[in-house]
Every structure is written in structure tokens, then in C-alpha cells.
Structure 1
Amino acid sequence: MGLTGRVSSVLAFLRAGYPSGAPALGYAPLLALLPRRVSDDEVTTIATKLAALERGPITNVDVGVAITRVTDELPSVGEIERVRRRLSAMGWAGRPQA
């Protein structure tokens, strides 16, 4: 495999792990500035832990605190909503309270 083939395989490897939401072209150092997003696995874990508490309605504050414990960052409204949707899909009665 020549140099071109090796470079192509390295680029293919890097592109496979390129985060969604990042521009296809641009400066790689800007990737460090992208906000962290709660993964689907983390959303499931957070929702499962909240549902297991079995203590009255789950508030947005409860969801936000659980997200912060996982990410060490303040959650966005979208992240809170993702956990709320997961709780609903798990059969949790009602929407979490504000």
C-alpha cells in the first residue's frame, strides 16, 4: 500500500468517528468548542435511575441534577426533554413536573 492508500485509510478512520453536527469542512481545533451532548446510553441510564427512585413526580430539576451528575455540566432544555421522552417511553406515568 502506497502513501496515498495509507493516508486515505487514516482519513476514512477519522471520518468514521467525526461527530455529527460538526461541519464537514473547517478547522479541527473548533471541534473542541462543540458542546457536549448526552449520549443515548446516558439518557437511558439517567431515566432508569430516576424511575427507580419511586418517589412522586419527577421534576425538571430532578432530571437536570441527574444529567449534571453524569456530565459535570448544566443540561440544556433539549437534554432534559430527551430524558423526559425516554421516561415516557419506559411507561413512566405523566410528564415530569416543571
Structure 2
Amino acid sequence: MSKPSFVEAIVGWLREGYPQGVPAQDYVPLLALLRRRLTDDEVAAVVAELISSGQVPVDSADIGTSITKVTDALPSEDDIDRVREHLPAGL
């Protein structure tokens, strides 16, 4: 048996937890749980992108732009902070 995809795993988890369907009042909390977060590899890729671009120093907009380039997704403040924590001092 093959491993289910990420989406299939989430749908299966939701179906087990909510066999009668998700109540409307649970939509927002569920979406908060399912929010995407940068992986460690993506953080490293964004840091590498920023360093190789030579943009020194970088600000939140630069980090956000690089996150979007790497992931094709809008960055969250948490993602920007995670990348900032991994930048070498002075960037």
C-alpha cells in the first residue's frame, strides 16, 4: 500500500475527526492548524537566495520577496522571522 499524499492524509484525518462533517464554528481553528509553515530546507533556500543576491542588509520586504520566489506562496510574519534568525549577523 502506498503512502497517502499530504492532502489525502489531511482529508483522512478530517474525516476521522468529523465523520458528520466539519461544523462551521470549527473552520477557523482548523485552518489555523493547517496553515503552511516554511520547512527547514525552504528556510535554508531563502537564506541562500538572499546571500547570493548580495542584498545587504535585508529587510522584511526582501525576505518576504525571497520566500515568495522559493515557495510561490505569500510569507507569514513567522516565516520572515524564522528566515531572519538564520541569516548571518550583519545581513
> 1:26-70 CA deviation, whole Å, 9 max, x = no partner?
24998x952221100010011011012223211110100111122
CA distance in 1, matches of 2:84, 2:42: 13
Larger Rg: 1
CA distance in 1, matches of 2:18, 2:67: 30
CA distance in 1, matches of 2:18, 2:70: 29
Query: What's the % identity of the aligned pairs?
Result: 40
Amino acid at match of 1:26: G
Residues 1:44 and 2:39 aligned together: no
Taking structure 1 as the reference length, what is the TM-score of the superposition?
0.56
CA distance in 1, matches of 2:67, 2:73: 8
CA distance in 1, matches of 2:63, 2:75: 9
Whose helix fraction is larger, Structure 1's or Structure 2's? 2
**CA distance 1:74–1:54, change in 2 (3 Å):** same
In structure 2, the residue matched to 1:4 is none
**CA distance 1:46–1:27, change in 2 (3 Å):** farther
CA distance in 2, matches of 1:79, 1:63: 9
Aligned length: 73
Q: How does 1:32-71 map to 2 (within 5 A)?
A: 33=31, 34-71=34-71
Structure 1 spans left out of the alignment, 5+ residues: 1-9
In structure 2, the residue matched to 1:26 is 17
